[in-house]
Amino acid sequence: MINFNYETEFELASEGTISKWIKDAIALENHKLEEINYIFCTDDYLYDLNVEFLNHDTLTDIISFDYSIGKIIQGDIYISVDRVRDNALEYNVDFDEEMCRVIIHGILHYCGYKDKTDDEAKLMREKENFYLSRLK
pLDDT in tens, the chain (136 residues): 999 999 999 999 899 999 999 999 999 999 999 999 999 999 999 888 888 777 778 788 898 999 999 999 999 999 999 999 999 999 999 999 999 999 999 999 999 999 889 999 999 999 999 999 998 6
Residues 6+ apart with CB under 8 A from 81: 8, 10, 40, 41, 42, 99
Q: What is the pLDDT of residue 85?
A: 96
Q: What is the pLDDT of residue 52?
A: 77
Q: What is the pLDDT of residue 136?
A: 66
Q: What is the pLDDT of residue 53?
A: 77
Q: Is 86 annotated as a binding residue?
A: no
Enclosing domain of residue 77: 2-135
Instruction: Round to whole Å and give the CA distance between 97 and 95.
Output: 5
Instruction: Round to whole Å and give the CA distance between 108 and 121.
Output: 11
- How is residue 38 annotated by DSSP? E
The SS3 assignment for 115 reads coil
Q: Is 56 annotated as a binding residue?
A: no
Assign residue 118 the CATH number of its domain.
Answer: 3.40.390.30
Number of domains the chain is built from: 1
* Alpha helix stretches (DSSP H) within 2-117: 15-28, 43-54, 81-90, 95-110
Q: Is 31 annotated as a binding residue?
A: no
Instruction: Round to whole Å and give the CA distance between 126 and 122.
Output: 6
